Amino acid sequence: MTAATLPIVRPPRRASRLGVRAAQLVVGGVVLGAVLHLRISWSDLAGLPSDLRHYLGLMFSSPNWSRLPAALYQTWVSVSMAWVGAVLGVILSTVLGIPAAAGVSPLWVRLPLRGIFAVLRAVPEVIIAIIILTVTGLTPFTGALALAIGGIGTHGKWTYETIEAVPGGTAEAVSAAGGNVLEVARWGLWTAAAPELMSLALYRFEINVRTSAILGLIGVGGVGDMLTGYTQYRQWDSVGVLIIVVIAVTMVIDAISGAIRRRIMRGARTRDVDGTS
C-alpha cells in the first residue's frame, strides 16, 4: 500500500463545552440570586465568630447539671418517637416498596406507588406533624406518626431500588417452579435483599433520632420541646446540658447501630479450629 492510498486519519472533533458552560452560568445565577434575596448583612456575618464564642461560653462554661435527669427523660421520649416511627415506617414502606419494584408488579401498580413515595419525600416531617396534630394533638405519638409517614417516601424508594438490584436468577427459578407473585417476592427476592433492607432500616432509625429533636420544636414533646423552652427564656446553662445529652446519646446510638449494620452486611466472623478469627 502506497502513501497515496493510505486512508486519511482526521483527529476527532473537539467536544463542545457549550452545555457545560451554560450549566455553570445557570448554577452561578441561582447562587447569586439566592444570596441577593437573603439580604445578608455582611457586618453581622463578620461578627458571627465572636457571637458564637460568647454563647458557647454561656452554654458550656458552667452547665446546669440539675437539668440532667429531665434532659435524659426527654431524650428518651425523642428516641422512643424515633423508634416507633422507624418501625411503622419500615413495615409500611417495605410492604409498599416491594410491589413498586420493576419485575414484581405491572406498570399500573408501580407508577402510583412511586408517585406516592415521591410526594412524601417532598414534604418535610415537620409539615406532616403540623397537619396531623389537628387530629392527634401535641403528643409524642404525633411525632412518631410524622416520622413514620415521612420515612415511607425515602425508605420505600430504598426498598424498590434494593429489590431491583437483586440478581434475577433466584426469582426466575421460583417463578419457573410455579410460584406466584407473592412467592417470588418472598423466596426469590426478599431472601437476597433482606440484609441490605435491614441495614437501611437501622439507618432510617438513626435519621429519625435526629429528626425527632427537630419535631420537638413544634411542641410534640421530646428534647426539642425542652430545648425550645429554655432557649426562649435564655437559660443558656440549661441549653448546654441538653446539647451535651443530645450529642452523647446520638453518638452512642450511631455507634451501636453502625456495629449492627456492619454485622448484618458482613455476617458473623468465622473462627478456625484453634480459636483464632
Q: What is the pLDDT of residue 85?
A: 92
State how far the Cα of 143 lies from the Cα of 218, in Å rounded to an integer.
10
**Ranges 44-58, 129-143, 161-175, 183-197, most confident:** 129-143
Residue given cell 434532659 in the structure block = 71
Q: What is the pLDDT of residue 18?
A: 77
Across residues 123-149, what is the average pLDDT? 87
- Give tens-digit pLDDT for 66-77: 888 988 998 899
Q: How would residue 24 be classed by pLDDT, with cut points 50, 70 and 90? A: confident
Q: What is the pLDDT of residue 176?
A: 64
State how far the Cα of 127 lies from the Cα of 146, in Å rounded to an integer.
8
Q: Is the dihedral of CA 253, 258, 259, 261 positive or negative?
A: positive
In this structure, the number of other CB atoms found within 10 A of the CB of residue 120 comes to 21
Nearest to 157 by CA among 200, 208, 212: 200
Q: Where are the domains of the chain?
A: 64-266
State how far the Cα of 164 lies from the Cα of 78, in Å rounded to an integer.
34
- Tell me the residue ranges of DSSP E strands in the chain: none
Q: What is the pLDDT of residue 83?
A: 92
Hey, what's the cell of 166? Answer: 437483586
Q: Which amino acid is at 40?
A: I
Q: Which amino acid is at 134?
A: T
Q: Which amino acid is at 231?
A: T
Running DSSP on this structure, what letter comes out for residue 3? Answer: T
- Give tens-digit pLDDT for 162-215: 888 877 666 666 666 666 666 666 666 777 788 888 888 888 898 888 888 888
- Residue 148: phi and psi, rounded to 5, are -65, -50
Q: How would residue 136 be classed by pLDDT, with cut points 50, 70 and 90? A: confident
Element (H, E) at 160: helix 140-164
User: Which residues are CB-neighbours of 195 under 8 A, at least 6 positions away?
Assistant: 264, 265
Q: What is the pLDDT of residue 175?
A: 64
Q: What is the pLDDT of residue 181?
A: 63
Hey, what's the cell of 138? Answer: 401535641
What's the CATH superfamily of 64-266? MetI-like (1.10.3720.10)
Nearest to 104 by CA among 65, 162, 41, 30: 162
Q: Burial letters for 249-265: b for 16+ Cβ neighbours within 10 Å, e otherwise?
A: bbeebeeebeeebeebe
Q: What is the pLDDT of residue 16?
A: 66
Residue-level length of the chain: 277
